[in-house]
A and B are shown apart, each in its own frame.
Chain A
Amino acid sequence: MIKTVDLKKTFTGRGQTVYAVDGVTSHIKPSEVVVVIGPSGSGKSTYLRCLNGLETLTSGQIIIDGVDLSAKKTDHNLVRREVGMVFQQFNLFPHKSVLENILLAQQVVRKRKREEAEEKARMLLQKVGIPEKENEYPIRLSGGQQQRVAIARALAMDPKVMLFDEPTSALDPEMVGEVLEVMKQLAREGMTMVVVTHEMGFAREVADRVLFMDQGKLVEEGTPEHFFTSPQEERTKLFLRQVL
């Protein structure tokens, strides 16, 4: 579904070049839930953002559903509509109501009729458990509710893959559960998901595979069982000792 080959992304500032992502080769299969973990600054978010072209690669290759995202002639917009993304800071459109947030891209990008888009939006609001909030503006919603709207907004585009960039990190602890519950449901339905998170419980319970990144490199990967019970790399062991 998503293949990356020797993915590299550098940032240059003050004459220094920093490798945020340093040669990551990975393969995410359809219906797979992959959780990416690692310490802050390990490049896991940058890796994720490369997957839908929000960051331009320095070198390497990304192939999404057979389309080479790294090729110059590829229209990133066509790829992006197949790849949903959920952000740490929700990034809902504050000037639009909940319903309009979910309608907009359907109408503008997918060119759906208003009725069709509304039906879809209401169905998704039902699914994420807040059908009664459709006319509220995002600012009046709790963090957990906002993030669930953001998930519904991404799902409305019928994406083939969903990317989650630390979806619960900006939430109050009591709201983490409601968002994770929606994500678990998605995973059960067979959605292909790549999740950057610090929620080890979620990784253990839902992930098919865990990737551990440090300093831009993919240090270790494996099933949650393998990863949490018998990690091979010293760096992984150190990290797990600190977070568990």
Chain B
Amino acid sequence: MNSQKNSLLWHALTVFILFMMGAGLWIATKKIDYTWRWNRVPQYFFYQQETLVPAPFDARVASISKNGNETHIKLAGENGEDETYIVDTETLKVSENEDLFEGDYLGATFEWNAGPLMWGLWTTLWLSATASVLGLIIGLVTGLCRVSQNLTLRSLSITYIELIRGTPLLVQLFIFYFFLGTVLDISRIVAGISALAIFAGAYVAEIIRAGIQSIPKGQMEAARSLGMNVPQAMIHIILPQAFKRTLPPLAGQFISLIKDSSLVSVIAITDLTKSGREVITSTFATFEIWFVVAFLYLMLTSVLSQVISWVERRLSVSD
């Protein structure tokens, strides 16, 4: 009871400190000359596009029937054509029995479209997902090479891991885009995804290696003593256990990958970060957009970490 009361007090203190920090920031922004325009942000997620509907031929308006927001217009052409068009009721420009020339507007329709921030979010999402899957495959293969008995495989994997982990991702992206992109004639998207995948692969390989080596030797011995060969023992015994143990660090790696993917904006891939920059150039709502972009990244990463902890719980039935 006492400790519960205490923890409540500490939570209150936490909330208070966060509130004070927020208030401090708010006061600080009050002192500078900045007008917050949050109302400009939503249209960059979704916006309504107006499409004008023209009459396709010279015609007379045969009938108009209003149906809530939609209005059906029946046109009767001079040559016996007979067609119905739909426009938004509020935009209706014609009345019954009116004679129209080809190209006169009947009205307009509205359609919801995804804005640049949505497209950027989507690009970041699939870019990271593709790079994660590829990175996992590369890392798995490299990790297995890393623990292999074959000296060449081991040396090659170590070289790859050291090379990638010893250089900045930003530089790797430039090399992939400017050098490999030119030499191998690959598009910026392919260059960006490969750079991310190969970067993540090096870290995944080390995680997988550690996972494999953390499985007691007796497991491999038991599998071998039952007549399994090394690949069978790996697939059925070692890797499933290693996978379970490496799930938390792997999750961390993939969360990093989502965040690191923001660097592809430097090779002009329109991901979430670059979309944010583009929206800022047209709105000047710098502060708002960067906060929104940060929030969107936070959403992606926290959904991923929720999914992974769900998988972890499912796998823990044998503990």
Contacts from A to B (Cβ < 8 Å): 52, 54, 77-78, 80-85, 87, 89, 91-97, 104-105, 108-110, 137-139, 150, 153-154, 157
Contacts and interface: CB of A to CB of B under 8 A. Distances in A.
Contact of B236 (A54, A91, A104, A137): A104
A102 to B, nearest CB: 10
Q: Which 7 A-B pairs have the closest CB atoms?
A: A81-B227, A91-B222, A105-B226, A91-B218, A85-B225, A137-B318, A109-B227
Given A91-B221, A93-B219, A157 B226 contact: yes
Interface stretch (B120-128, B167-175, B237-245): B237-245
Contacts of A105: 223, 226-228
Interface in B194-246: 216, 218-219, 221-229, 232, 236-237, 240-241, 244
A77 B218 contact: no
A81 B227 CA distance: 4
B319 interface: yes
Contact of A153 (B219, B221, B224, B226): B226
Contacts of A104: 226, 236
B241 A77 contact: no
B311 to A, nearest CB: 14
Given A108-B232, A139-B318, A87 B227 contact: no
Given A91-B218, A94-B318, A139-B319, A157 B241 contact: no
A108 B228 contact: yes
A77 B227 contact: yes
B226 A154 contact: yes
- Interface of A, secondary structure class, is loop
15 contacts: A77-B228, A77-B229, A78-B227, A89-B216, A91-B219, A93-B241, A95-B240, A96-B318, A105-B223, A108-B228, A108-B232, A108-B236, A139-B319, A150-B222, A154-B226
Given A91-B222, A95-B240, A108-B232, A80 B318 contact: no
B317 interface: yes
Contact of A109 (B218, B232, B244): B232
Contacts, number: 71
A139 B216 CA distance: 15
A87 B225 CA distance: 10
B237 to A, nearest CB: 6
A92 B224 CA distance: 13
A54 B224 contact: yes
A139 B227 CA distance: 24
Contacts of B218: 87, 89, 91
A95 to B, nearest CB: 5
A87 B221 contact: yes
Contacts of B225: 52, 54, 80, 83-85, 154
Interface in B238-266: 240-241, 244
A137 B319 CA distance: 8
Nearest to A109: B227
Contact of B226 (A96, A97, A109, A139): A109
A137 B227 contact: no
A77 to B, nearest CB: 5
Interface string B152-182: 0000000000000000000000000000000
A67 to B, nearest CB: 13
A139 B317 CA distance: 10
